A and B are shown apart, each in its own frame.
Chain A
Amino acid sequence: MSAHSQILLTSSEGTEFIIDRDIADKSMLLKCMLEDIGEIGQAVPLPNVSGPILTKVIEYCTHHRDDPNFLSANDDVAADIDEWDLEYCKVDQGTLYELILAANYLDIKPLMDLTCKTVANMIKAKSPEEIRKTFNITNDFTPDEEDQDWVDEH
């Protein structure tokens, strides 16, 4: 299979996307699938990824198409985010969550690292209450639990 062959993807709404094989290979899920079963000539359904999110994911993979370190980054969670990636992540929270889930589902580790790092940066310098407010997290600790001596999990 040549690097210039194309793959057809279908989003959850049924929207079809045609991408080059080398871009599809940025997703470990797609890469392994295509290696196992070959190019089936039919669309690969992605029921967990909506059209707009798949568009964003393809945009990311296309930008990093020629990045030699794309798959070699293993645990460099401390690395700085470059400028393009910073702009890429300037989206609303819902979209950011969807991107995280899509990166997780498609197994695109660099995108996963980027989006999770973006969320981590939003958490920094915030108190627990501020974090709850920012991310709409419910405080489910009851007043009684705050006083109890919970030792079972410790």
Chain B
Amino acid sequence: MADNNFNNTKGIDNDIKDTEKKSLRDLPAEVLIHIGLALPSREFGRFLQTNKTIHSCLDSHYVWHLRFTTRFGQTILEDKLNPSLPNNSDSARLSPPLTPSSPRLPSPNSQTFHSSSNINSNNNSANTSPILQQQQQFNNHLDPVSAASSLLPSAASSPRLTPSAAPQTPPSDSSSNEGSGSDGSGNGGEGSSSSSAKRPPGKARRIDLQRTNMASKEMLINIYKQLSRMTLPAEDMMIAHMGNQFWRMITSSESKYGKLAELASVWWMDVIAVFYGVPPGRYKVQWRVKVTSDGPVVNTEFRAVLFGKHEDPNTVGERPNALTFRPTSKQEFVQHTDSQGSKVNKKPFSNLFKGFTILELPGELLVEDDYRGVFLQIRNHDDWKSGLYIDYVRLVNLDDPEQSQESLANGLHGQRVAAGKEPVDDKGEEYYPTSSSSSGPLPWFQQALGINPTAGIDPRNRLRSPQATTIEY
């Protein structure tokens, strides 16, 4: 918007005279940092490439720490870093900061948090404690019925949402969690549920950089990138009863990410996806699902709740919904999908949709004033249901001219799906975007940070192996 002022021809001469007096580079460091905080990652990276002074000022651990906490708050970073961090909201002092090489810290390249992919990777690790493996089998929340009969403390009606294994760790297990973290396998953050349980529910906490200054810059950048995604695959959702005979993750070429969450049969259906640091704007919520029976969708609640970036998503609970959709019939469900089917009532679900469909929740999700977290949930706790496959969930930014075309309300989405052009390529905000030109400081930056712009990070790449099971539908 302000660019118009500088595209004005008459203003150019004045601008030249004025800029001869002062350049952006000459502004004080605190001002450059302030500007840097307001930039998304891609623009931030480009800004760093303009000048050595700007680069040395901004490409620092402190600034990245500020950027991270400004956008995502500190709760999630604390949970990631230190499971035994004292959670005293009145405490102004913390134990001495750990060095980045502390064995208690997870590897910067650790697996995605609260991800069912940890099940496979960590179960294969010889260093994973049995307790941790048991936690990861129920990677996410438990329903109250099964929790009451298990050794682990029962979960509240609202699922736990720690970025690590959700079930609460019994006090005697904390040492084993630290032990598993000390092997540097990246599991150090998995046992944070005990610290999360102590956090005052619903209380926002201010940023205190001392709490999380042990996180390395590389770690901050990696986690920032992960959290900035606007699309979450099923692998990164929290699904009750995942990993046993009720729900399972399967490899499938039908998935945009290579893996699907498959519902075999369950009574307590509860799926949660959490987005952090969502920028202000208007959004549509879209679930890519495949439905083969009425059970998983009729009378199922699809809800969206906002929470503050300084708040613990554990506190969402039964907070008022920002968006809610509870279809009472098959027809009502289909009306909010990109299905072109007719005679809904007579056709079974398997004939309604040719494979996967996009369900777009009615209404707009409005994020105002500041970055906020978005808590999405699919829940139905009545009766047995089966026949649901989940690929991903995403937030479509209606304020972005390009992205808004993905909204079903625009009527263009169906055409794009039919043409096979449905774009799903969200790896998070790139720090140093690839450049078509090999000249300039970009290659130097990438090399210094160990970034290989040509390396594929498509999750499907790590799934493809001779033994991978692929189910064709």
Contact = CB atoms under 8 A, between A and B. Distances in A.
B402 interface: no
B35 A92 contact: no
Interface of B: 1-6, 11, 14-15, 17-25, 27-28, 30-31, 34-35, 37-40, 43, 46-47, 49-54, 56, 59, 69-71, 206-207, 279-280, 369-371, 439-441, 443-444, 447-449
Contact of B24 (A80, A118, A119, A127): A119
B18 A135 contact: no
A63 to B, nearest CB: 18
A138 B24 CA distance: 10
Interface residues of A, number: 54
29 contacts: A75-B69, A77-B38, A86-B1, A89-B2, A92-B11, A92-B18, A93-B6, A94-B17, A94-B19, A97-B27, A98-B22, A100-B31, A104-B31, A112-B31, A122-B6, A123-B43, A123-B47, A124-B39, A128-B441, A131-B46, A135-B25, A137-B50, A138-B51, A140-B52, A141-B444, A146-B441, A146-B443, A149-B447, A150-B448
Nearest to B369: A79
A125 B449 CA distance: 23
Contacts of A113: 34, 38
Contacts of A136: 19-20, 23-24
A43 B277 CA distance: 45
Contacts of B49: 128
Nearest to A112: B34
B18 A100 contact: no
Nearest to A152: B448
A4 interface: no
A123 B39 contact: yes
Contacts of B6: 93, 122, 134
Contact of A137 (B15, B54, B69, B370): B54
Contacts of A95: 18
Contact of A94 (B2, B22, B59, B280): B22
B23 A124 contact: no
Contacts of A1: none
